[in-house]
């Protein structure tokens, strides 16, 4: 017996009989949902700029990208500005040799006893940290600018990040600690107590990043003796998860448009890693730097990332892609006078007898002298019409 022919057609298989007409097929009733195409992630950098005299110091923060698309970087004693729109470069400030290196992109003197290595803005509050382990809130609008002082770290504070709402501040230190501070609990009369002290890291914590799509989610990265990225619920102080990256974590950035996290690393690979959150599956590893990637900054549109490393280069990566353009939801015209109570009451006309004259008309709306929106009309009337006349007009609707 030829066993190779078992379960094989002897001849060409017959054409299957269509039991239902094609116009009644399930594909027409249930349209196919196409899977979202996988985003292409370029594996190489778009451009490289020389960054001579960039200080190779894990505890400093020397790179920032502003909302006007201007990137600032401190090289030695000088801070430079690079305009991404036209690639022009200008020198902002040079510090005298006796005053030392530029150690941060935003400097305020008089509130620390040693170098200021990191700063963070919260509206008019400029928060600074120094080697003296103190964190100071400075109100830049007033002469006596120190308004709050946070004490909790025992060694130099490495990183500072405010939550977008301005309510919570995260700080990481050389003492392996992460503190969460609540702005609403702050007091100008005494040292403010932290909301949470997070002690799971085993090395210095510089890399901090608040999640853009979940306000109580914080990512933190540990130094060479730790090598982990940890995720925290800042409402409860609980550690949600931890992943071993295999190398020093220098900086973290969230993708503003996707659930992704970008990390930069030191020895031994000196790479950038793009992670899918929350699975923490590696989506891409970007190499090119030959020394630890100490600093990262994100463009205003959230697409491009600039990285600066101890190899004295500044590289640009189109790692986050172009955000999808969502179609605006069509506006539905409300029913005329829908805000009026048709059961006899008139809730939208100002009841103050002094406000009896319409003083302005704008986009078919009229306002009383007091500024309250009295109603919406679909027909014209005189700017001198009284409230009683307007009530009569509205009764016609």
Mean pLDDT (the chain, rounded): 78
Tell me the C-alpha distance between 62 and 56, whole Å: 10
8 A C-beta contact, residue 393 and residue 377:
yes
What is the sign of the dihedral through the CA atoms of 15, 19, 23 and 24? negative
3-class DSSP state of 162: strand
142: pLDDT confidence band, cut at 50, 70 and 90? confident
Residues across the chain = 397
326: pLDDT confidence band, cut at 50, 70 and 90? low
Say if residue 264's pLDDT is above 90.
yes
Across 127-131, 228-232, 341-345, least confident range:
341-345
Tokens of 60: 């400093």
Q: What does the pLDDT read at residue 101? A: 72
What proportion of the chain, given as a percentage, has pLDDT over 90? Answer: 55
Q: What does the pLDDT read at residue 337? A: 42
Say if residue 371's pLDDT is above 60.
no
Mean pLDDT within 128-135: 86
DSSP class of residue 357 equals B
- ∠ Cα 137 143 149 (to 5°): 20
Residue 297 is inside which H or E element, if any?
strand 293-298
Q: What does the pLDDT read at residue 373? A: 39
Residue 29 is inside which H or E element, if any?
helix 26-29
130: pLDDT confidence band, cut at 50, 70 and 90? confident
8 A C-beta contact, residue 343 and residue 352:
no
Say if residue 359's pLDDT is above 60.
no
Tell me the C-alpha distance between 117 and 104, whole Å: 5
pLDDT, tens only, 57-76 = 999 999 999 999 999 999 99
Q: What does the pLDDT read at residue 267? A: 87
More confident residue, 132 or 339: 132
Q: What does the pLDDT read at residue 4? A: 47
């Amino acid at each position: 017996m030829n066993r190779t022919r078992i379960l094989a057609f002897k001849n060409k298989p017959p054409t299957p009989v269509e039991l239902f007409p094609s116009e009644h097929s399930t594909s027409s009733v249930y349209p196919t949902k196409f899977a979202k195409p996988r985003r292409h992630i370029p594996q190489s950098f778009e451009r490289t700029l020389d960054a001579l005299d960039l200080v190779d110091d894990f505890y400093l923060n020397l790179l920032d990208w502003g909302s006007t698309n201007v990137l600032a970087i401190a090289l030695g004693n000088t801070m430079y500005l690079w305009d991404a729109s036209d690639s022009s470069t200008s020198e902002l400030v040079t510090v005298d040799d006796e005053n030392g290196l530029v150690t941060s992109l935003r400097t305020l003197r008089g509130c620390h006893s040693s170098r200021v290595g990191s700063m963070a803005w919260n509206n008019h509050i400029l928060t600074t940290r120094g080697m003296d382990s103190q964190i100071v809130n400075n109100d830049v609008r007033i002469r006596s600018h120190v308004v709050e002082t946070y004490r909790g770290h025992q060694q130099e504070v490495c990183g500072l990040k405010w939550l977008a709402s301005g309510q919570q501040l995260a700080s990481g230190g050389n003492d392996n600690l992460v503190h969460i501070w609540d702005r609403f609990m702050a007091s100008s009369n005494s040292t403010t107590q932290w909301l949470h002290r997070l002690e799971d890291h085993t090395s210095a914590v510089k890399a901090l990043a608040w999640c853009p799509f979940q306000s109580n989610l914080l990512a933190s990265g540990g130094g060479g003796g730790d090598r982990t990225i940890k995720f925290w619920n800042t409402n409860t102080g609980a550690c949600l998860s931890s992943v071993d990256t295999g190398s020093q974590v220098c900086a973290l950035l969230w993708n503003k448009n996707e659930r992704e996290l970008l990390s930069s690393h030191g020895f031994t690979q000196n790479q950038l890693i793009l992670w899918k959150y929350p699975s923490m599956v590696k989506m891409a590893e970007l190499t090119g730097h030959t020394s630890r990637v100490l600093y990262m900054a994100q463009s205003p549109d959230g697409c491009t990332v600039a990285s600066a490393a101890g190899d004295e280069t500044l590289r640009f990566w189109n790692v986050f892609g172009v955000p999808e353009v969502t179609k605006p939801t069509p506006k539905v015209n409300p029913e005329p006078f829908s805000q009026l109570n048709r059961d006899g009451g008139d809730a939208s006309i100002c009841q103050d007898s002094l406000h009896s004259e319409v003083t302005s008309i704008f986009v078919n709306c009229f306002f009383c002298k007091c500024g309250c929106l009295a109603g919406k009309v679909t027909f014209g009337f005189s700017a001198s019409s009284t409230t009683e006349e307007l009530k009569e007009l509205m009764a016609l609707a």
